[in-house]
Structure 1
């Protein structure tokens, strides 16, 4: 594996799972850029989704993993950043497919939807996959407009 820098962000509902994911991927040799938050004080998921997406677009991170209660809201916020493709996944197959077929740069997970063990399987599937290109590149280009 070529070392990759992964940006992590969440809202207050997903701090514990985000920190567990950070530890998990650090152990695998990834560089982690954890942009918080660090307290469980209520915060706004759109700010955290957009901040992570901006780090990826700026080249400060290769990929991102973002989390909120369901994974849906933070994913929507990340996808508002031009050039970002982010998908919410609750199982490993979709996490692999969003990389292989959609060239997604960011994975979103719902901390209130999946447990820690399943979350690690989802993360591993996402980080272990590579974009296949070919006919999928044509479709990704269509998404980009």
Structure 2
């Protein structure tokens, strides 16, 4: 699995902590982590939480990533921004129970986390435990297990609803504020990570033309 990490500007100073916690858990599982920034508070690519959603939409809809880990001060802004995009189902994950239940019940493809609120002593241990519960088991098995079929049906209903409430990603990119989009994809490693992994030629071509 290709896991993308996207960190918003107000929490960029914690970027290394978040990245290290994620990679320490998922790399032994065989997953790849691609850190799209921010890396430090001084980065030229200054990502706001709306940009987190836009960038996550680009990554997931192009196939450049299979899963996105993002967040902001409370996690709520990034969650809302991600869920505004087509084909993204993003949950707010605060603790390992949230991570487990989101994976087993909702089987989404993105999470948003609070990197300021409640981020105190041993916060990196909570991050590791969340990532462990999120990725250690096949998603969508259900909890409780006997309700797995009902949950699978509901996920399908929600996916169908999203198809009629959202434009396709390329249409969104064409109609979005172009300066906002340019900033969202201006991270120093975006081109290095995105273009070799993207599976959508139209999205790739449009972004290259920017």
Taking the aligned partners of 2:51 and 2:115, their CA distance within structure 1 comes to 17
Cα deviation code 1:82-130 (max 9, x no counterpart): 1111011111112111111111111211111341110110111111231
Aligned position for 1:126: 134
Aligned position for 1:40: 41
Q: How does 1:1-145 map to 2 (within 5 A)?
A: 4-12=1-9, 13=11, 14-24=14-24, 25-41=26-42, 43-112=47-116, 113-114=118-119, 115-129=123-137, 130-132=139-141, 134-144=149-159, 145=161
Structure 1 runs not aligned, ≥5 long: none
Which one has a larger percent strand, Structure 1 or Structure 2?
1
Give runs of ≥4 in structure 1 deviating > 6 Å: none
Cα deviation code 1:10-47 (max 9, x no counterpart): 11214233322343233543211111112214641210
Which one has a larger percent helix, Structure 1 or Structure 2?
2
Taking the aligned partners of 1:27 and 1:131, their CA distance within structure 2 comes to 22
Give the Å deviation of 1:56.
1.7
TM-score under structure 2 length normalisation: 0.62
Cα deviation code 1:39-87 (max 9, x no counterpart): 2146412102321233122211121111211111111111111111101
> Do the aligned partners of residues 23 and 137 (structure 1) sit closer, same or farther apart at CA in structure 2, a change above 3 Å counting?
closer
Whose radius of gyration is greater, 1 or 2?
2
The alignment covers a number of residue pairs equal to 142
TM-score under structure 1 length normalisation: 0.86
CA RMSD of aligned residues (A): 1.8
